[in-house]
Amino acid sequence: MAETATQRLGRLLTMVPWLMNRQGIDIAEAARELGVSQEQFVEDLQLLFVCGTPGHYPGDLIEASWEGGRVHVGNADEIARPLRLGRDEALALIVALRALAATPGVGAKDAIDRALAKLEDAAGAEGRRAAQVSVSLEVGEVEQQRLEQIREALAGPRRLHLRHYNPTRDETTERDVDPMRVVSLEGRWYLEGWCHRAVDVRRFRLDRIEELTVLDVDGTPPPGARPRDTGASAFGASPGDVLVELELAPSATWVSENFPMESVERREDGSQRVTLRAADPTWVRRLVWRLGGGATVVSPPELAEEIRSGAARALQAYGVH
């Protein structure tokens, strides 16, 4: 997904004090700890190398070197101290940790409790204000039943058999899933686990699970299974998704602001060329038809043909050429 300048700035401000306290760290280890690819990490170091205090003379710029695979950062004493939480940030984090501790399926509760205790102690009187805030993660009756079953399966661990409705395809499928966790995203509860039908990690909205059974079968996910990044969206791309490239007219550029994109190329005339990933291209077909000529599928060609032929059949049904 495209990264905003604000997101990158936040990472750079975190990187500098972190690296200055770990001089000589291996570049691969640093990238892994900071949660970015090694290529992105090197790009960040190259950017730091031309940043500094006003004047922009060599002595004013941050020193960054990574020769031999070891990272060294210097001449950045002004931002060498780690960022400190403000009052509002500390209160928000305390409330969020309490909500996290109450979320079904969340592991490492002891670690959460320890972090919460340290944060409340550091916040002092200000931290006690967080007790005035109550966070309620709303759960319906059916969802509550599903959560209890998932909690039982996670404790086993036991495999789950479920019937799940997919509104995109308007079909119900049966799947065996090794549960990994429960997440709350955008006001909805999801089961995340290793799906034996898809042979990959998948998320299932709890209110779309029609039936759920805890099986007397070991439900340990494969060693390579990893939870998807939650980010700010319930959508999570996977390597098996179809990469779709679209040309968007100026009237359709709202699409890039409302759907997760791999890349966005903006042009002077207001049009865009975007790429996105879709586990099921069905919703892409519906989106393009909805845009009424505002979008053109560049690739894959088979999807473009499906959309063209579908539109032709619809027009034929109405007697329109």
Residues 93 and 75 in one domain: no
Residues 247 and 311 in one domain: yes
Evaluate whether residue 161 is within a structural domain: yes
**Vertex 293 angle, CA 318 and 290, to 5°:** 70
- CATH number, domain of 12, equals 1.10.10
- CATH number, domain of 311, equals 3.30.70
Cβ-contact 285, 310 below 8 angstroms: yes
Evaluate whether residue 126 is within a structural domain: yes
Evaluate whether residue 275 is within a structural domain: yes
Q: Write down the pLDDT at residue 147.
A: 83
Q: Write down the pLDDT at residue 235.
A: 53
In tens digits, the chain (321 residues) has pLDDT values of 456 777 788 888 888 888 888 899 999 999 998 888 889 999 998 888 778 777 667 677 888 888 888 999 888 877 777 667 777 788 888 888 887 776 655 556 778 888 888 887 777 776 677 767 766 666 667 777 888 888 889 888 999 999 998 876 678 899 999 999 888 776 678 889 999 998 888 889 888 899 999 999 999 999 888 887 665 444 555 556 788 899 999 988 888 887 778 888 898 898 999 998 887 778 788 889 988 889 999 989 999 999 999 888 888 888 866
Residues 68 and 102 in one domain: no
Residues 66 and 42 in one domain: yes
Q: Write down the pLDDT at residue 287.
A: 87
Residues 71 and 114 in one domain: no
Range of the domain at 105: 87-132
Query: Which runs of E-coded beta strand occur in the chain?
Result: 25-26, 63-65, 70-74, 158-166, 171-185, 188-195, 200-205, 209-218, 242-248, 263-266, 272-278, 295-299
Closest by alpha carbon to 95, among 54, 53, 134? 134
Q: Write down the pLDDT at residue 169.
A: 66
Evaluate whether residue 228 is within a structural domain: no
Residues 75 and 95 in one domain: no
- CATH number, domain of 146, equals 2.30.30
Evaluate whether residue 185 is within a structural domain: yes
Q: Structural domain tally of the chain?
A: 4
Q: Write down the pLDDT at residue 135.
A: 66
Evaluate whether residue 255 is within a structural domain: yes
Evaluate whether residue 301 is within a structural domain: yes
Question: What is the SS3 assignment for 255?
Answer: helix
Residues 34 and 52 in one domain: yes
Other CB atoms within a 10 A radius of the CB of residue 271 amount to: 16
Cβ-contact 212, 175 below 8 angstroms: no
Residues 73 and 97 in one domain: no
Evaluate whether residue 235 is within a structural domain: no
